[in-house]
């Protein structure tokens, strides 16, 4: 594999989200990446394919929750020498543009290519009732 996927890589990825730095976030993704959002019209959530679509989807998140922050995080990685995966668990907090306070526990399931770039990001949030 190219870059080794470590806890530090996952922490850096989350830090880029907390800075709302789309350029930094997108530097972690492969060109042919797929992002499954936690919400959508289908059980797996809406899907964005390719860096341009993923960037647009993430920009909407920052627009919809301008002060979004991911904290209380933990990270796990696995690498069998052929492929790597990661799990990042976090608490998302923020305020929607409609004024709704949000606090949800969630996680990302991540798959990486041989160069250490994210090929799949699948996000899950707990549903607060």
* CA distance linking residue 90 with residue 38, whole number of Å: 14
Question: Could you tell me whether strands 118-125 and 29-36 are parallel, antiparallel, or unpaired per DSSP bridges?
Answer: parallel
pLDDT of residue 1: 42
Mean pLDDT of 91-101: 96
Domains of the chain, first to last: 7-125 (3.10.450.50)
pLDDT of residue 114: 87
Q: Give yes or no for residue 44 having a pLDDT over 90.
A: no
pLDDT band with cut points at 50, 70 and 90 for residue 3: low
Phi-psi category of 45—alpha, beta or left, where left has phi over 0 and alpha has psi -120 to 50?
left
Its pTM stands at 0.91
What is the side-by-side strand order in the sheet with 118-125? 47-49, 29-36, 118-125, 101-112, 84-95, 69-79
């Amino acid at each position: 594999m190219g870059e080794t996927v470590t806890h530090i890589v996952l922490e850096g990825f989350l830090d880029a989200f907390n800075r709302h730095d789309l350029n930094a976030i997108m530097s972690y993704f492969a060109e042919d990446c797929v992002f499954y959002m936690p919400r959508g019209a289908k059980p797996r959530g809406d899907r964005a394919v390719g860096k341009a679509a993923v960037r647009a989807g993430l920009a909407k998140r920052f627009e919809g929750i301008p002060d979004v922050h991911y904290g209380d995080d933990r990270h796990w990685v696995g690498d069998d020498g052929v492929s790597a995966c990661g799990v990042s668990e976090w608490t998302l907090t923020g305020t929607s543009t409609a004024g709704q306070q949000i606090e949800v526990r969630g996680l990302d399931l991540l798959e990486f290519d041989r160069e250490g770039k994210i090929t799949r990001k699948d996000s899950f949030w707990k549903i607060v009732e």
